[in-house]
Chains A and B, each alone.
Chain A
Amino acid sequence: AQSVTQLGSHVSVSEGALVLLRCNYSSSVPPYLFWYVQYPNQGLQLLLKYTTGATLVKGINGFEAEFKKSETSFHLTKPSAHMSDAAEYFCAVSDQGGSEKLVFGKGTKLTVNP
């Protein structure tokens, strides 16, 4: 069975500081990995995804994530936080069979302080 652990339910950074949101996964088969973002009072939208190939994945709004198989991690980063980045972020994992089963982490709420 697959699972996702997001370290830190709340992360607070200053505007302009580095954003680092941690995600570790467990999967017995090669995973597909996703980051979704949920802005206040909205549904989730895809930030980026890793399927195969290049392990450093670039997404929207300046975010990127690196797949590290040896560490079973897929941490999300952004060099410089902006106030508009305040949202809840979800890491998700699925197997490469292309199944319907997408397992979400519990989410990390990012606060950006002026």
Chain B
Amino acid sequence: DADVTQTPRNRITKTGKRIMLECSQTKGHDRMYWYRQDPGLGLRLIYYSFDVKDINKGEISDGYSVSRQAQAKFSLSLESAIPNQTALYFCATSDGGLGRTEAFFGQGTRLTVV
């Protein structure tokens, strides 16, 4: 089984719908992250969490919210999806600051908003 599991892997949703992307990890790491990948733009940080009670906005948090249900689970929600949120979304974990330790990524969720 993968260390970082994302569900669903693919999702098509309509504009205005609420959608939740889920992430679970078996690494035992405290830090979890949500990134968005767009072609030609690289990865951009949406939200990150140091533990269940510590959640922080990243560089592109508008239109998104998160929930850290447990050390191992970190969900990303789009309250009212819009087409420009069509992207590949990655969850990641680390055992320390991302700036100095390795990040472990899930396989990604491809979201299409029509």
Contact = CB atoms under 8 A, between A and B. Distances in A.
Contacts of A9: 40
Contact of A42 (B43, B99, B107): B107
SS class, residues of chain B in contact with chain A: strand
B96 interface: yes
Contacts, number: 65
Given A42-B107, A45-B105, A32 B100 contact: yes
Contact of B43 (A45, A90, A94, A98): A90
Interface of B: 4, 31, 40-45, 48, 56, 90, 92, 96-100, 102-108
B97 A99 contact: yes
Closest 9 CB pairs of A and B: A94-B99, A43-B105, A98-B97, A104-B42, A102-B98, A106-B42, A104-B43, A98-B100, A46-B102
Contacts of B43: 44, 90, 104
Interface of A: 9, 32, 36, 41-46, 49, 51, 90, 94-102, 104-107
B99 A95 contact: yes
8 contacts: A49-B102, A51-B100, A94-B100, A98-B96, A99-B97, A99-B99, A101-B45, A104-B42
Contact of A90 (B31, B42, B92): B42
Nearest to B9: A41
SS class, residues of chain A in contact with chain B: loop
Given A100-B48, A104-B43, A43 B90 contact: yes
